[in-house]
């Protein structure tokens, strides 16, 4: 067996690690000069930083497992904090260190900014979802589910809607309630630690993609960076790529969903797959880095904002030791896409200055707009399976069929599953 993997994002590298661990020869082809795809390190103003602020949760079981496999110790590289949502002066929720789901019940009962009626409504919602094992008969927008269960007012505005747009990168008005509940089940009703926030302490490349590439090379595989694959064919001797003369027994296509069409076009049997992927819509994520003087900091690692452009501010000084560096995150589509990046950075500075009176102008700022950050996670969308209609050709990526939205965890799980299918096929 000799497997070609196209794409060194988290899905492609997860597949490569799983196969290399099973002593299968893998060659990873990556168009960019760095691995990591949509969760990679970039350099700005001489600082190694992320293409976009990321947050993981304790329920990211496979991601944490594979990090350990490649020697990237999650306990050292991630700052673990119990679930905490803070909109200063408006809303505050902290999960105490109690067993699940008591921790969530206690968090709701002690949350600041909720009326007694809202707390009770939240408890009833949780109980109802639990009773139905987090399944709904027919998918619907999250906003509709919230209204049906009287999750309105501050509950919707500061808890469910921000959680929905952050986790699904799709506004509650159009996001899939079933996918939201799947995350709810794993994060909020599993072990207490599953709901912990895990903040990267190092640039994203060092969390997994780079140690994964080292692991693959150390186990006899190769990772060819700066090597785009433009054509993929299957002959009697195996898969052939324009990127080299070798033949491969199996291929895993781990490019992003908007990048795979040209690589599938030579396979007539894959027309339905191409159609379902072409039907996916996308949502952006904007991250604006603002470097202030070293003494500037936020009261906690992650602070909620509402009423303006900014949804969350991450204090990179607290998290990564880059004092004075703040990352403002805006998930999903919105009016911020209509202004220039300079104007957006200025508007974000003004929103911050309203919160931190006397805030000096930033020393520098930079907006990174990831226009196709994730697929738009709407009710009932069709996602392709890992196994394709072409024998020994598999798909891997955050968009393949799973009960999770587009996340690092769905990418990693998809990569691991694709590797498992290769192994099963090889042994058959």
> Which positions touch ligand FAD (CB under 6 A)?
6-12, 29-32, 37-39, 52, 54-56, 228-229, 254-256, 259, 285, 287, 370, 373-374, 397-398, 406-409, 411
Nearer to ligand FAD, 6 or 114 (CB): 6
Nearer to ligand FAD, 118 or 409 (CB): 409
Nearer to ligand FAD, 4 or 177 (CB): 4
- Residue 353 C-beta-side C-alpha neighbours within 13 Å: 12
Q: What span, in angstroms and rounded, lies between the C-alpha atoms of 154 and 111?
A: 11
Instruction: Record the tokens describing residue 51, joined without a space.
Output: 């293409």
Nearer to ligand FAD, 159 or 330 (CB): 330
Nearer to ligand FAD, 40 or 349 (CB): 40
Q: What span, in angstroms and rounded, lies between the C-alpha atoms of 86 and 42?
A: 29
C-beta of 76: minimal distance to ligand FAD in Å? 19
C-beta of 398: minimal distance to ligand FAD in Å? 4
- Residue 158 C-beta-side C-alpha neighbours within 13 Å: 26
Q: What span, in angstroms and rounded, lies between the C-alpha atoms of 90 and 304?
A: 10
C-beta of 23: minimal distance to ligand FAD in Å? 23
Contacts from 361-367 at CB under 8 Å and sequence distance 24+? Answer: 362/290, 362/291, 362/292, 363/291, 363/292, 363/293, 363/324, 364/45, 364/290, 364/291, 365/288, 365/289, 365/290, 365/291, 366/44, 366/45, 366/288, 366/289, 367/286, 367/287, 367/288, 367/341
C-beta of 229: minimal distance to ligand FAD in Å? 4
C-beta of 211: minimal distance to ligand FAD in Å? 16
C-beta of 14: minimal distance to ligand FAD in Å? 8
Nearer to ligand FAD, 39 or 270 (CB): 39
Cα dist from 3 to 33, 211, 217, whole Å = 21, 20, 14
The residues facing 302 across adjacent strands are 314
Nearer to ligand FAD, 63 or 178 (CB): 63
C-beta of 391: minimal distance to ligand FAD in Å? 21
């Amino acid at each position: 067996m000799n497997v070609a993997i196209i794409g060194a994002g988290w899905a492609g590298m997860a597949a490569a690690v799983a196969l290399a661990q099973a002593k299968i020869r893998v060659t990873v082809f990556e168009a960019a000069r760095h691995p990591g795809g949509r969760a990679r390190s970039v350099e700005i103003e001489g600082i190694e930083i992320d293409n976009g602020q990321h947050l993981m949760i304790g329920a990211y079981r496979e991601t944490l497992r594979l990090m350990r496999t490649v020697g990237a110790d999650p306990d050292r590289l991630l700052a673990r904090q119990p679930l905490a949502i803070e909109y200063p002066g408006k809303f505050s929720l902290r999960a105490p260190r109690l067993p699940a789901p008591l921790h969530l019940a206690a968090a709701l009962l002690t949350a600041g900014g909720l009326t007694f009626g809202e707390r009770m409504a939240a408890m009833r919602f949780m109980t109802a979802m639990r009773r139905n094992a987090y399944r709904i008969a027919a998918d619907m927008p999250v906003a509709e589910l919230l209204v049906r269960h009287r999750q309105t007012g501050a509950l919707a505005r500061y808890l469910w809607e921000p959680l929905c747009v952050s986790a699904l990168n799709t506004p509650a008005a159009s996001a899939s309630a079933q996918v939201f509940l799947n995350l709810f089940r794993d994060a909020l009703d599993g072990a207490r630690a599953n709901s912990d926030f895990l903040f990267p302490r190092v640039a994203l490349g060092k969390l997994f993609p780079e140690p994964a590439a080292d692991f693959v090379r150390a186990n006899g595989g190769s990772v060819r960076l700066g090597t785009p694959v433009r054509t993929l064919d299957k002959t009697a001797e195996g898969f052939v790529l324009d990127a080299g003369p070798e033949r491969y027994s199996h291929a895993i296509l781990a490019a992003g969903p908007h990048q795979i069409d040209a690589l599938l076009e030579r396979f007539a049997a894959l027309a339905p797959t191409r159609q379902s992927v072409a039907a996916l819509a996308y949502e952006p994520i904007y991250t604006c880095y603002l470097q202030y003087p070293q003494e500037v900091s936020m009261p906690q690692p992650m602070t909620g904002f509402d009423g303006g452009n900014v949804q969350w501010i991450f204090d990179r000084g607290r998290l990564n030791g880059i004092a004075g560096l703040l990352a403002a995150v805006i998930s999903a589509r919105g009016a911020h896409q209509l202004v220039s990046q300079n104007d957006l950075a200025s508007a974000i500075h003004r929103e911050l200055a309203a919160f931190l009176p006397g805030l000096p102008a930033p020393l520098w700022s930079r907006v990174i707009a990831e226009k196709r950050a994730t697929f738009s996670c709407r009710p009932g969308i069709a996602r392709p399976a890992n196994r394709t209609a072409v024998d020994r050709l598999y798909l891997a990526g955050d968009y393949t069929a799973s009960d999770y939205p587009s996340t690092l965890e769905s990418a990693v799980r998809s990569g691991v599953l694709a590797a498992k299918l290769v192994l099963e096929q090889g042994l058959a």
